[in-house]
Amino acid sequence: MESLVVLLLVCFGVASCAVCGPDRELFEKASYCMVDSHIPWVSATTACSSMGGRLAVPNSQAEQAFLYDFAAQHFGIYSSIWIDCSKTSTHGQWMHADGSPCEYTNFIYGDVDGANCVHMYLNSGYWFAVDCSANIFPVVCELPLPEGSSEEVKPSMFCMEFGADGRLHP
């Protein structure tokens, strides 16, 4: 029997995506954009990187409060969002995707065995460590503003290809 692998090409045009247009907000020197897809952590970091940004992460209590309010208003308080902090056996500490350490954290519990990625629960704002690939959450991307600009980053497009197994293919 011939097996058929169906690939689904999902393209998100941020300019035409309602969630990333009017729901985009500025905080300090970045623009924050919602991505409605519930996806694994690796797919979330890829999506944000494809738009020229990164998965959002609070670096201060003020940014934590902003991100919590922004995401809770859109996704509701019974949801979670991914945070740009992860841990691998090679570095053993919480790091951003760019390799810099996560200096500000808001964990309710300490390290959890087997948990290597972080999500923020929008009911409390606390962070929880979970398995990166076994969980899917919505995404908030943090996009840098152009140097000397007070304008938002121009909308862009990113595409993700998923295989029949539901996994993101590079």
Q: HEC states along the chain?
A: CCCCCCCEEEEEECCCCCCCCCCCEEECCEEEEEEEEEECHHHHHHHHHHCCCEECCCCCHHHHHHHHHHHHHHHCCCCEEEEEEECCCCCCCCECCCCCECCCCCECCCCCCCCCEEEEECCCCCEEEECCCCCCEEEEEEEECCCCCCCCCCCCEEEEEECCCCCEEC
Strand partners, 120: 81, 127
- pLDDT tens across the length of the chain (170 residues): 333 222 222 333 332 232 354 567 889 889 999 887 889 999 999 888 888 889 999 999 999 999 999 999 989 999 999 999 998 766 678 888 888 999 999 998 766 777 889 999 999 999 999 988 888 999 999 998 877 665 544 444 344 444 555 544 44
d(CA 25, CA 83): 17
Domains annotated for the chain, with CATH where assigned, are 24-154 (3.10.100.10)
Q: What is the pTM of this model?
A: 0.73
pLDDT of 99: 87
Residue linked to tokens 């045009």: 13
pLDDT of 4: 28
d(CA 133, CA 82): 12
Q: Are 157 and 33 in contact (CB under 8 A)?
A: no
pLDDT of 47: 87
Distance of CA 103 to the CA centre of its chain: 18
Tell me the CA distances in angstroms from 29 to 35, 143, 144, one per residue in order: 20, 9, 6
pLDDT of 161: 47
